[in-house]
Amino acid sequence: MGKQSIGEFEEVVLLTVAILYENAYGISIKEDIEQRLNRKVSVGAMRTALSRLEKKGFLKSEFGEATAMRGGKRKRYYKVTPYGKKVLEQVMETRKKLWEAIPSMAFDF
């Protein structure tokens, strides 16, 4: 698999899925992002990002058990794939290289 691009929001979603690990489902991901980053996230944007990340092979999902609390509906749980981890590592390395390339005087205010 070649290098794929990943947007900033997709990166945040992917990292949040990794943080939540076995408790990563739509609403928990949305709430965690909102809490950690003090950033509003729409349900539609979240669903779109999760779907896109799964299509790219960065995430995989499976349904949990049906619960009476949810009216018999099952939650879809997400996990980062090995390919998703590799992409996150590439993004981290790229950002690190960019930060290291900034001349020290660039931030002398």
Give the residue among 45, 106, 53 at the shortest CA–CA distance from 78: 53
pLDDT at 68: 64
% of residues, the chain, pLDDT over 90: 81
84 contacts 24 by C-beta, under 8 angstroms: no
Count of residues making up the chain: 109
**Look-up: residue for tokens 């619960």?**
67
Fold of 8-101: Arc Repressor Mutant, subunit A (1.10.10)
What's the token pair of residue 4?
Answer: 């794929």
Specify whether the CB–CB gap between 19 and 35 falls below 8 A. Answer: no
Q: What are the residue boundaries of the structural domains of the chain, listed by start? A: 8-101
- Structural tokens at position 31: 């709430």
| pLDDT tens digit sequence for 63-84 | 987 676 666 678 899 999 999 9
